Structure 1
Amino acid sequence: MSLPANPKALLIDLAGVLHVGDQVIPGSIEALARLRAAGFRLVFLTNTTRTPRRTLVAKMRALGLDVRDEELLTAPGATMNLVRSRGLHPHWIVHPDLRDEVGPDAAEPDAVVLGDAGHGFDYAQLNTAFRLILRGLPFIAMARNRHFKEADGLSLDMGAFVAGLEYSTGVAAEIAGKPAAPFFQAALDTAGVRAEEAIMIGDDLRDDIGGAQAAGIAGVLVRTGKYGAADEHDPDICPAAIEDDFARFAERLL
């Protein structure tokens, strides 16, 4: 897949593309300002399932990144939209920081929703989910990420827990966040563009680039965050372009 000749919107992953932990990746603030001034529609994507939306926006702005609330699409937000659209009343397994955003567990749940509970994951929580799924409740997961980048290195993400419950129950989870097609469609809807008018910029070959290109959106891989040298030789996923970082891609685009 090639880059569109006249893109209108940029779908930008946050962690690993604009920042790593509390450190902004050099050149990102200036590049973002130049792209915004050039008239590109911007949508910021994150599969972070621990951080409330308002906290994330405040953090980005404190780092100097011009991220606006109406431009941010999160995995929890996409999941809650899915749950509401189906009229479900879930049992939630989420990080304590996200509890106020998703609300309380239903007294009589009709679905199981798994987020990244972080240090809150324990046997009792997972066993409760296991039993509810065995009873026939739908199993929805916010994401299936393998790992994420923190200041001290890669950390285990929630995909291992999703896989564990799938293995034990024999039930495949429905994924609401990246790389699911509905997540990317929601991003396009937010930007008000068609797939062929957008570019996805990400550091995760599978979830960012593979997911976007499966939805018809050209993907640009940056050599920051989760990126590994082997990504450039993957037999299944071929980015439309590869750049050293977000600022270099902005320079190329402009």
Structure 2
Amino acid sequence: MNHDELVDRLARVRGVMFDIDGCLVLSNGPSGKGGRVLAGARDAIDFVRRTHRRMAVFTNGSMQTPHQIAESLRSLGLDVRDEEVITPAVVAAETMLVLHPGKPLLVFGGHGVQQDFLSRGQDLVDLDRALAGEPTDAAAVVIGWDIDFGRDKLQVAAEAVYAGAEIYCTSDARSFASANRLNVGVSGFIAAGLSHVTQRPYRVLGKPAPEAFDILTRRLQVAPAEMLIIGDDLTLECAMARREGALGALVTTGTHSAADAELAPPEQRPDFVVEHLGQLLELFSAAPSSLDPISPDPSSDRRGHDVSFR
């Protein structure tokens, strides 16, 4: 896609998805908790609001509930509403309503995972009773962010799988962007271990899975061709955008760099690469029918440089 085609497509964007860690904020906590806002993030969200586009923020973290995440982002000055937050636990809960309606679910994870199922009235197996040896009769084992997952939980999960339960993983991302150190993923580690023990495959529901994109589409209520997906990870946001026909942007404030994008396989290649979200606003401003364009983040000291088109 050349420059003019990209600008033309941007003008038709009616729904925008932002990743959180490494895109909007950078921190050592979950989903930006206690972190710092990255350049251009506030203005990018304000631009979406002022031009009446729909917005979602989609993290692959499931330690916090959508309400907790939205509150954390609002405390940093980002105008994010509870209903605009999507997590892998949200995707998992809504997917289980379709695949296993009314069936018992064995769900591993803290409040950030469990609450999304409970709020939808789903039948969760009592883990204490299961650990005491009571059969679970679970139709599915859902693995979320569970830092207390040990041998006893592995035993219960494996027995449920041997009895016929399917394995789902909220996210198998190996790591996510953070301020000072590599933050490693937990859910995929557990799911891979359970799969090893049981010799049964697991299904990922978070980004970039089709189920994740389905939930995003429902929230934004726009066609894929009118959607812009922005994130810092080629294997997650960029891969999802490429597969589904949405515009994909890599912002190099997190996991992957412009050099990584150059080497990425076609199925992960972004449509364009920006150094920060302020440059995204420059691109929108160049779109002929873009509504109410605004200037890039004034805190940025680089304007109009190193925007790479694919």
Normalised by the size of structure 1, how large is the TM-score? 0.91
Residue 145 and residue 238 in structure 1: after superposition, are their counterparts in 2 closer, same or farther (change >3 A)? same
Give the Cα separation in 2 of the matches to 1:126 and 1:23.
Answer: 37
Give the Cα separation in 2 of the matches to 1:146 and 1:231.
Answer: 18
Q: Secondary structure at the match of 1:108?
A: coil
State whether structure 2 residue 239 is matched by structure 1 residue 230. Answer: no
Structure 1 residues 1-254: aligned runs within 5 Å = 3=6, 4-5=9-10, 6-21=12-27, 22-85=35-98, 86-87=100-101, 88-103=103-118, 104-106=124-126, 107-117=136-146, 119-157=147-185, 158-228=187-257, 229-236=259-266, 237-254=268-285
Give the Cα separation in 2 of the matches to 1:222 and 1:121.
Answer: 33
Give the Cα separation in 2 of the matches to 1:66 and 1:80.
Answer: 25
Q: Secondary structure at the match of 1:120?
A: coil
Deviations 1:48-104 (A, max 9, x none): 111111111111111111111222222111111111223132111113554444344
Unpaired runs of 5+ residues, structure 1, are none
- State the identity as a percent: 25
Pairwise CA distance, 1:14? 1.4
Tell whether the 8 Å contact from 1:91 to 1:109 is kept in structure 2 after alignment.
Answer: yes
Give the Cα separation in 2 of the matches to 1:225 and 1:184.
Answer: 22
Q: Which has the larger radius of gyration?
A: 2
Look up the equivalent residue of 1:19 and give its one-letter code: V
Look up the equivalent residue of 1:245 and give its one-letter code: H
RMSD of aligned alpha carbons: 1.9
User: Where do 4+ consecutive residues of structure 1 move more than 3 Å?
Assistant: 96-104
Tell whether the 8 Å contact from 1:17 to 1:224 is kept in structure 2 after alignment.
Answer: yes
Give 1 or 2: higher strand fraction.
1
Normalised by the size of structure 2, how large is the TM-score? 0.76
Give the Cα separation in 2 of the matches to 1:153 and 1:109.
Answer: 37
Q: Which moved more, 1:123-132 or 1:177-186?
A: 123-132
